[in-house]
A and B are shown apart, each in its own frame.
Chain A
Amino acid sequence: MLVKLARASLWSRRGTAALCVLSIAISVFVLLSVEFVRQEARESFGRTLVGTDLIVGARGGQLNLLLYSVFRIGDPTNNIRWDSYQTLAANPAVAWTVPLSLGDSHRGYRVLGTSDAYFTHYRYGDDRSLDIVEGTPELGLQGAVIGANVAAKLKYSTGEEVVLAHGTGGVGFRKHDDHPFTVTGILARTGTPVDDTVHVSLDAIDLIHEGFNITSLQDMQADRTITAFLVGLKSRMLAFRLQRQINEFEGEPLQAILPGVALSQLWRVLASVEAVLRVISGLVLLSALLGMSTMMLASLRERRGEIAVLRTIGATPLFIFLLVEAEALLLCLLGCLAGMGLVNIASLASRDWLREVYGLVISPYVPGESALLILGAVSGLALFCAIAPAVGAYRSALGACLAGR
């Protein structure tokens, strides 16, 4: 009865009620979005690269190396000489290495020069390897293996000719059109930046940069440089020792990072930003609920007749109090539901954009346990904020209110 009455009463004031719901929805949207993006970012970043024990690059920030080598965010500061790579790859502790060379692009998608080892050793998610859906993962001198998004967006299939551009802007200023590539393979969707990458061989990268006046591949490799390389160890226990060795490498200034450690450093950096965002969204929510409280207080005057009728037919002042609280709860629940709906829609709408710009792969928002927690907290806060109007109604119910005029 209480809920039915609250519903009908709110419906009779649906204009102001809808505005209340909207403002609560927006604040819940902000609150949930912060939480959702945080979770999804961790999830997405955490599952992008697994099974790699060390990432080696030129000396610089740990985070920077992680971001450009794995997430294709930002640009490398310096390169690694090929002989340094070979020396380190020959270390007895090393099981496998995958060289990475970045710097070119194809119609806005990053081009990664690598070796065939990439397709055998790259692991993501729950230790899954890269699957090929079309063609073969063979790079050769002219082959290009493209990620699922590249294939889908540019509508490429195997056999297609592609031309690479120097630089990583949307449109490269210098095109390597004297050396076209042929798509030899298309990778299955992984939900990682691999989907947005064009893979070619290191030889091919050198070839297009040096032109065709190179006599032999051996000559070419002599002054080749790469951006970074992934290292798999024979035993995990050796990671710290090898890391130290690489950091003290005499040939050139290098650094090795443990992906997990670098990621946790990233989260530490972001934690304070998250905290600020959370406080702000909490304040936005509070102001929305205070707005609701104000609306309810303001409407008390015009509701005196309503309260009088209820009192006349035997409603206790407590019932009146609970009626106002029930209305607040209804508004808040509607607002929360709408807010969650908004997050869901926004997560679907911004998926492609987040992936392309930030390499962040998010799944559509589905309210989970944390949403329930937030819902509970928001409801509690709404009940608290409604105490003032509810007490007002209670007092109006206590007083001489049978006037009915």
Chain B
Amino acid sequence: MSDTAIELRDLRFGYRREQTVLAIDEWNVPAGSSMFLRGPSGSGKSTLLHLICGILSPDAGSIAVCGQAIASLRGHARDRFRARHIGVVFQQFNLLPYLTVADNLRLAARFGRSNNPLDAKELLERLRLPVDVLQRQAGDLSVGQQQRVAIARALINRPELLIADEPTSALDTAARNAFVELLLEQAGQGAVTVLFVSHDSTLATHFDSTADLTALNTAAVTYVD
């Protein structure tokens, strides 16, 4: 296990040739810490997350996630690495609405090929969800409940890294802080590194450290996503 959960070096990426939208010379996230990455829309936030998750490949430079140079993995292995080592929580639509919560969690465990996934029931209890949500269709839950199930889904394979991309923007202010605390508490129990991306600076106080993508990204072009 490496000391840095995320390590970027001389990263360059553009969707089109001659048009770099993301350029980061050096950035580290220490393992086991929680990082708040502030970035307004258009700052290349999504692009960066896609690169870290291995969905996009950089044009130049290196990305290491938990010591693994993710770009050097082949497509299939990259998908498996993501399933096993990275948990992701989005703004919304984290779950397949037509499956039950139990099946959503099971599916994530299957893709992660984890031989030791967390117990779904216990995980939901820890997230203060009633146990009966397991058998309910994910689409029938409230947004707040869905977001908490999303944390469970992200943590079920005991990942080293948890990425949260504006997970609170669909929640009201009161729920927001509670959600962030719950997320950090659950991640802390498994010593999971947290990368939390948001434009809402008021949440930054919950985290160990803070970074600003507009400062990190030295690319001249702004990409609107």
Contact = CB atoms under 8 A, between A and B. Distances in A.
B98 interface: yes
Interface string B69-98: 000000110011011100010111111111
A401 B98 CA distance: 20
Contacts of B139: 12
Contacts of B56: 400
Interface string A8-49: 110110000000000000000000000000000000000000
A123 interface: no
A380 B76 CA distance: 27
Contact of A316 (B75, B95, B98): B75
A312 B94 CA distance: 9
Contact of A402 (B49, B108, B153): B49
Contacts of A4: 103
Given A400-B50, A400-B55, A405-B91, A9 B98 contact: yes
B55 A313 contact: no
B88 A402 contact: yes
A372 interface: no
B196 to A, nearest CB: 15
A261 interface: no
Given A8-B99, A314-B111, A404 B79 contact: no
Interface in B43-83: 46-47, 49-50, 53, 55-56, 75-76, 79-80, 82-83
Nearest to B83: A314
B169 to A, nearest CB: 9
Nearest to A309: B96
B110 interface: yes
Interface residues of A, number: 26
Contact of B90 (A5, A11, A405): A405
B7 interface: no
A315 B53 contact: no
Contact of A311 (B55, B80, B108, B225): B55
Given A400-B55, A404-B92, A405-B91, A317 B75 contact: yes
B79 A403 contact: no
Contacts of B97: 12
Contacts of A404: 90-94, 165
A140 B80 CA distance: 90
Interface residues of B, number: 36
Given A311-B55, A315-B79, A402-B50, A1 B93 contact: no
A306 interface: yes
A316 B96 contact: no
A8 B139 CA distance: 13
Contacts, number: 81
Nearest to B15: A400
Contact of A400 (B46, B79, B84): B46
Given A8-B98, A305-B93, A314 B82 contact: yes
Nearest to A8: B98
A178 to B, nearest CB: 78
B112 interface: yes
A404 B90 CA distance: 6
Nearest to B88: A312
Contacts of A314: 79-80, 82-84, 108, 111-112
B213 to A, nearest CB: 16
B93 A401 contact: no
A301 B99 CA distance: 19
A314 B55 CA distance: 10
B150 to A, nearest CB: 10
A308 interface: yes
Contacts of A308: 90, 93
A312 B53 contact: yes
B111 A402 contact: no
Contacts of B80: 314
B50 to A, nearest CB: 5
Nearest to B105: A313
A315 B98 contact: no
Interface string A307-337: 0111111111110000000000000000000
B204 to A, nearest CB: 22
A405 B92 contact: yes
Contacts of A316: 75-76, 79
A216 B6 CA distance: 118
B107 interface: yes
A330 to B, nearest CB: 14
B46 A402 contact: yes
20 contacts: A4-B103, A5-B107, A8-B98, A8-B103, A306-B96, A308-B93, A313-B107, A313-B153, A314-B79, A314-B83, A314-B108, A315-B111, A400-B50, A400-B56, A400-B225, A402-B46, A402-B88, A404-B90, A405-B91, A405-B166
Q: Which 5 A-B pairs have the closest CB atoms?
A: A314-B83, A404-B90, A12-B98, A314-B111, A305-B93
Interface of B: 46-47, 49-50, 53, 55-56, 75-76, 79-80, 82-84, 88, 90-99, 103, 107-108, 110-112, 139, 153, 165-166, 225
Given A318-B76, A402-B49, A405-B92, 19 more contacts: A9-B96, A308-B93, A310-B96, A312-B90, A313-B83, A313-B153, A314-B79, A314-B82, A314-B83, A314-B84, A314-B112, A316-B76, A400-B225, A402-B55, A402-B90, A402-B165, A403-B46, A403-B90, A405-B93
